[in-house]
Amino acid sequence: MLSIKKIITFLCLVFINTISFAQGTSNSTDVLKSNGKIYVVMVVVIVIVLGLFIYLFNLDRKVTKLEKEKHS
């Protein structure tokens, strides 16, 4: 089973790669910046990523608890 540290590291690398890829200047990002909607997009992305981290953390705690109960 993958450890939580490996999963978080993988998600961080994917997130950083996505951000660096999206930093290329294009017409669509200029439109979003001029309308102020880029902030809405970033808030949505951050909420989704935080939700995934919280879900994985809770799942890891539950699995650890079940493993301890099994070994007792």
Q: How confident is the model at residue 55 (pLDDT cuts 50, 70, 90)?
A: very high
pLDDT at 27: 63
pLDDT at 12: 73
Query: Which region among 5-9, 38-42, 44-48, 65-69 has the lowest average model confidence (pLDDT)?
Result: 5-9
Supply angle C-alpha 34, 16, 27, rounded to 5.
25
User: Of 22, 25, 15, 13, whose CA–CA distance to 45 is shortest?
Assistant: 15
Tens-place pLDDT, residues 12-36: 777 776 666 555 555 666 666 677 7
